[in-house]
Structure 1
Amino acid sequence: MSETTTQPTPPVLEALQITLADHIATVRLNRPDKANAMNWAMWQEIRTAMQWVDRTPEARVVIIEGEGKHFTSGIDLGMMMGLQAQIKDDCDGRSREKLRQLVLELQDTLSSIERCRKPVLAAIHGGCVGGGVDLISCTDMRYCSLDAYFTIKEIDIGMVADVGTLQRLPKILGHQGIVREMAFTGRKVEAAEALRIGLVNQVFESREALQAGVREMAALIAAKSPLSIRGTKEMLNYSRDHSVADGLNYIATWNSAMLMSSDLMTAMMASMSKQTPQFKD
């Protein structure tokens, strides 16, 4: 999959690190000394990273992982403590309006993962706490190492999870009782249970095996027709939130516009000649 052409240069960020190789973009949470706590810079940069991936043709698939001991410990408590100053206003109504806009801003950051046209795979090790669960709920597939655990921690700091977990996780697990138990108790869900309830696709013995396994899966996706992959994600997200009839109508319209692509002919010719197809980004 390697190419001799010059690769696009990812943006240099403060709380994230982005790399691109063999059509696979890796977005790494990069505050290991703070257990990758999600500070204001990280929230903003997640959206920057996903927008960069979305508009970079050479990036066909994304892996999100964490540097250090944990995937993420969730929202940075220092950021939480500073919210009062951000929303301060002499008018109580305006102060609360600012708080609502701030929550919507954080929601939009994580929704940028879902909006990204490229598949996003989460590689989770160690703790995935609070906002981390909100984050992985936006990804297309989730994989973890044996040491991983997940907790909807917001209940233990006296708040309601408000940036996506309670909206997305029931649709991922398909089991209201499990989601409610996690949200009401804040208990840890270990890797084996996460696999059993459908929170993750696969559990790997070690972090090294996790990284290798997820990269292998990403490479399989990157080898497919990029146009078809982008359309498939669009259809899956749309169908999740609409009726079967709406979904069928949308795919009919989509394929009437996208089906007759060069990728279709490339794939068919490669299949007949038993060769590996090479697609345009």
Structure 2
Amino acid sequence: MENYKTLEIVQRSPKSSVFHLNLNRPSLRNALSLDFFSEFPKALDSLDQNPNVSVIILSGNGAHFCSGIDLKVLDSISERSQSSDRGRTGERLRRHIKFLQDAITAIEHCRKPVIAGIHGACIGAGIDVVTACDIRFCTEDAFFSVKEVDLAITADVGTLQRLPSIVGYGNAVELALTGRRFSGSEAKSLGLVSTVFASKEAMDEGIRLVAEGIAAKSPLAVTGTKAVLLRGRDLTVDQGLDYVATWNSGMLLSGDLAEAVSAQIQKRKPVFAKL
């Protein structure tokens, strides 16, 4: 398994198809460096292509989930953009922003479900990351902030595109314009997280149970559900129905379907082939 500067991949049980992808710069509160933006999509792709992986749990080592983008990244952007040609400066900057965006969107491109476990700080780019995840949980002591406005930045790596559909447009506008800090319990009331746990230990166990439950289901059905939900965000209901009809015309008649029906009849747990 490849070694990363900013990440850690862990399989806690050799029999489990649930893998952990940990942000691994605890001394810097898991601030996202330029290395992260190169490594993260590679790590996700390796997990996606691994047939032994069914579900990915994304969390942070140390006391915090993620304190945002490393300020050195902002410095490097400023340095790279120095040019007497305004057009070329702008084109270079746009390409760099797209590179950063693609690293976060890799979560959605990953066929396997990604579950975020958030403790401590989840600030700025941390919210970009978790809003791209499929399911989010947090601890009582977790706190959040859409911080970019306080750094004189229009958030540009996904929060402004994904947060409104999760918490509602009005709530997203208020959080993004104020940059204020909000708690785990408020994140739950807004719909940003599904459950708030009393401690990190309780959250880790709760997420493990959810992840193992998903991992036991048909991988064709799980990956299809993720794909159709994501595609449906940009479609009308009629277009979405047409899309899932086309999807299922290619995927529905599978060994997984036969196994699921057989297991129901025989009152046993189904066993599905790897994907």
- How far residue 57 of structure 1 moved from its aligned partner, in angstroms, is 1.4
* 3-state DSSP of counterpart to 1:235: helix
Matched, 1:257 2:250: yes
Please give the residue correspondences for 1:130-141 in structure 2 after superposition, counting only pairs within 5 Å: 130-141=124-135
- 2:179 maps to amino acid: G
| Number of the residue aligned with 1:210 | 203
Instruction: Write the deviation string for residues 213-270 of structure 1: whole angstroms up to 9, x where unpaired.
Output: 1111000000000011011111111111111111111111111111110001111111
Work out the CA distance in 1 between the residues paired with 2:273 and 2:84: 56
Structure 1, residues 68-88: CA drift from partner, whole Å, max 9, x if none? 111000000112112122233
Q: With structure 1 as the length reference, what TM-score do the two structures score?
A: 0.94
Tell me whether 113-122 or 14-23 shows the greater mean CA deviation: 14-23
Which of 62, 70, 75 is the equivalent residue of 2:69?
Answer: 75
Q: TM-score, normalised by structure 2?
A: 0.96
What SS class does the counterpart of residue 144 from structure 2 fall into? strand
Q: Aligned match of 1:186 in 179, 183, 189? A: 179
Q: Quote the Cα distance in structure 2 between the aligned partners of 1:135 and 1:227.
A: 25
User: What letter is aligned with 1:17?
Assistant: E
Match of 1:224 in 2: 217
Paired with 2:53 and 2:83, the residues of 1 have a C-alpha distance of 43
Counterpart among 223, 229, 234 of residue 236 in structure 1: 229
One-letter amino acid of the counterpart of residue 59, structure 2? E
Equivalent residue number for residue 12 of structure 1: 3
The letter for the 2-side match of 1:116 is C
Please, which runs of 5 or more residues in structure 1 have no aligned partner?
A: 1-9
Residue in 2 that maps onto 1:85: 79
Task: Give the match for residue 188 of structure 2.
Answer: 195
SS at match of 2:272: coil
| Secondary structure in 2 matching 1:137 | helix
**Identity of aligned pairs, percent?**
43
**For 1:209 and 1:197, how far apart are their aligned partners in 2?**
22
Q: Deviations over 1:69-123 (max 9, x none)?
A: 1100000011211212223334221111110000011111000001111111000
CA RMSD of aligned residues (A): 1.0
Distance 1:13 1:144 in 2: 25
Gaps of 5+ in 2: none
Deviations along 1:27-61, whole A, 9 cap, x unmatched? Answer: 00000000000000111111111111211111111
Aligned to 1:158: 152
Secondary structure of the corresponding residue to residue 132 of structure 2: coil
How many positions carry a matched residue from both structures?
271
Equivalents in 1 of 2:136, 2:118: separation in Å?
Answer: 7
Match of 1:111 in 2: 105
Q: Which residue identity lines up with residue 219 of structure 2 in the other structure?
A: P
Task: Tell me the amino acid that sits aligned with residue 13 of structure 1.
Answer: Y
Does residue 56 of structure 1 match 2:50?
Answer: yes
- What SS class does the counterpart of residue 45 from structure 1 fall into? helix
Q: Secondary structure at the match of 1:278?
A: coil
Residue 47 of structure 2: SS of its match in structure 1? helix
CA distance in 1, matches of 2:236, 2:47: 30
The alpha carbon displacement at 1:11 in A equals 2.1
Cα distance in structure 1, aligned partners of 2:67 and 2:7? 15
1:178-225 per-residue CA deviation (whole Å, 9 max, x = no partner) reads 111111111111011110110100000001111111111000000000
Q: Partners in 2 of 1:189 and 1:138 — Cα distance?
A: 19
Return 221-230 or 46-55, whichever deviates more. 46-55
